[in-house]
Each structure stands twice: as C-alpha cells, then as structure tokens.
Amino acid sequence: MSAEIAWPAKARELHSHHFDSTIWNDFKFRDDDIIIATYGKAGTSWTQQMIAQMMFGGDPELAVAEMSPWLDLRVPPKQVKLPEVEAQTQRRFMKTHLPVDALVFSPQAKYIYIGRDGRDVVWSLYNHHANANDLWYDALNNTPGRVGPPIERPPEDIRQYWNDWMDKDGFPFWSFWENVRSWWAIRNLPNVMMVHFAELKRDMPGEMRKIAAFLDIEIDETRWDTIVEYCTFDWMKANATKSVPLGGAFWDAGAEVFINKGVNGRWKDTLTAEDNARYDAMARSELGDACAQWLQTGQRA
C-alpha cells in the first residue's frame, strides 16, 4: 500500500522563539508512535490526556506532560530531548505544532490533528500569553539558538491582540492558516485522523472511543468511567500539574492557567459583526469552503 501513496515529504525548516523543526531530522520513529498535532490551544493537552488514560487504564498519577513532550519546542534543546524520548519504553505519544511540510512524516506512525475555530484559539492563546511569567520569556528568548525576533509581552487590549494575529497571520506565534491547510490536505491518508474541539466538547466519551479505535488501543472497560473522569476539564484543572509542562512553572498563577476554561465563544462579546465577517471571508479564502466549515463547526460537508 505504501508504494501507491504519495506520502508527505519534508520541504523546509521552521525556526522561531518556539520552534526548532530540525529535531525531526534526527528523531528515530517506531512503528507504533503517535503524533498529536494542532496549531496550538486547540485541545492538545486534552487529547494527550485522553490517549494516556486510555493506554494506561485510568491512572491519576500519570505525568502526561513529561511522558508526551512537545518535540519541536526548542527548549530544552534537542540534544537533551531526543535521548529522553529514545529512552521511553512505553508506546510513545508526542505533540507537534508544525505544519506538515516542516515534519518528517512516517507512514507507520499514527497522526491525530485537532482543529478549533481560530477565534477560540486566539482567546485561549491570549490567556496563555498574558499570564506567562519572566521564566517563560527567559526560556524562549534567551536560551541559545533562537532564530528570529524575541517574543514580546502582549498588549492589554485583547482586540488589538486579535487584530495583530489576523493582520500578521498568527502573530506573535506562527501561521494559523498554513497549519490548518497543510493537515487538511492529508486528511484522507490512512494514518491520519482529524478531530475537532467542538466534537470533543459535544461527546467526549464517543470521540475517545473513535480515537482508541484509530490508534488500536484496547480499552479496559472495567475502568472506562474512571478513564473518562480523568479526562474531564474539571479533573484536569484540579490536577493540572500532571498535564502542564514543568508543572506550570511558566505561569505565576500555576498550571490551572494553562488548562484555563475549555469553552468556546468567549470572543462573541468582543468581536464585531465586521470582525467576524472578515474572519469568515479569510477562512474561506485561505482554506476553501469545506475546510473552513469543518474548522468552524467540526462538521464535514
């Protein structure tokens, strides 16, 4: 089957205050690896939690953030991160925020991409960025190897933050449209599954079972109710140090800030009808009607 499929090929490197995509060039895949991909703030940690709890039968002590690193985050550097990932003996599951063409793509690994309306993403990003402490800025800006400008503190006005993100496609992070577009383009590959934040909110247990089936995870049915409980936002927020990088050390208010609210639509009180029309038009222009509809609703045409 592999010979008949045009598998994605790496075409470029991405570097920034956050990214070092070159780590994928040296990463040694295993046939059962799981890669969880999003633009960011679209349910990444939530999906990591679901996969971990289903694989390990519901364990409240799982340090999911340590088990499932963000591979292309440039801190710690790949010289530190790669040996740690290589030493893992369980089935590995890692996250990426890269577009497909900056990854080394394995036909044997399984890929899950989680989409979310860009407006919800920005409101979650703002919470993440505005609450970050000096340690966060120091790590991203001053760790040797940064390529490109530093990341600055966000404006106080979230509407200005929104306009900057729209005007400069993902500023101050990375391109939103190319990330979504690149994963949508490979949605029909046999080892790619598209998931949507809204569908996870609507029926988390049902979506979890679909994910388990895709990943060939055998669920311990005697532990199912406990597994589901450990994946709820309330439980994750109360136990956030387990699922947030460095136990939340980058946020003075703690790991709970990273988990935040897990709700959609907070932008509705701020964005105007003109703002929303502009976003909708840009989504259709950048993604096409079918992908834009999926990104907004989770429903495919």
The full 3-state SS of 191-225, as one line of letters, equals CEEEEEHHHHHHCHHHHHHHHHHHHCCCCCHHHHH
Q: Tell me the C-alpha distance between 148 and 286, whole Å.
A: 25
Q: Please give the share of the chain, as a percent, with pLDDT higher than 70.
A: 91
Q: Give the per-residue pLDDT at 249.
A: 65
Q: Is residue 147 included in any domain, yes or no? A: yes
Report whether pLDDT(261) > 80. no
Strands 110-115 and 34-37: parallel
Q: How many domains does the chain have?
A: 1
Domain that holds residue 72: 10-297
Confidence at 79, pLDDT banded by 50, 70, 90: very high
- Is residue 65 in a domain? yes
The predicted model gives 26-45 an average pLDDT of 97
* Residue 3 lies inside a defined structural domain of this protein: no
Stretch 243-249: mean pLDDT: 60
pLDDT of the residue at 237:
83
Q: What is the pLDDT of residue 258?
A: 47
Q: Give residue 1's pLDDT.
A: 45
Which of 32-41, 89-98, 243-252 has the lowest average pLDDT? 243-252
Within-domain flag for 215: yes
Residue 262's pLDDT band, with cuts at 50, 70 and 90, is low
Q: Across residues 122-130, what is the average pLDDT? A: 92
Q: Flag whether pLDDT at 116 surpasses 90.
A: yes
* 2 within domain boundaries: no
* Of 124, 129, 151, 127, residue with least CA distance to 140: 151
Q: Is the peptide bond before 172 cis (omega within 30 degrees of 0)?
A: yes
- pLDDT class for 284, splitting at 50, 70, 90? very high
Residues 50/243, Cβ–Cβ less than 8 Å: no
Residue at 206 is within a domain: yes
Residue 4 lies in a domain: no
Q: Please report, for the domain that includes residue 272, its CATH number.
A: 3.40.50.300
Where does the pLDDT of residue 250 fall: very low under 50, low under 70, confident under 90, or very high at 90 and above?
Answer: low
Q: What is the pLDDT of residue 2?
A: 47
67-94: average pLDDT: 96
The verdict on residue 125 lying in a domain is: yes
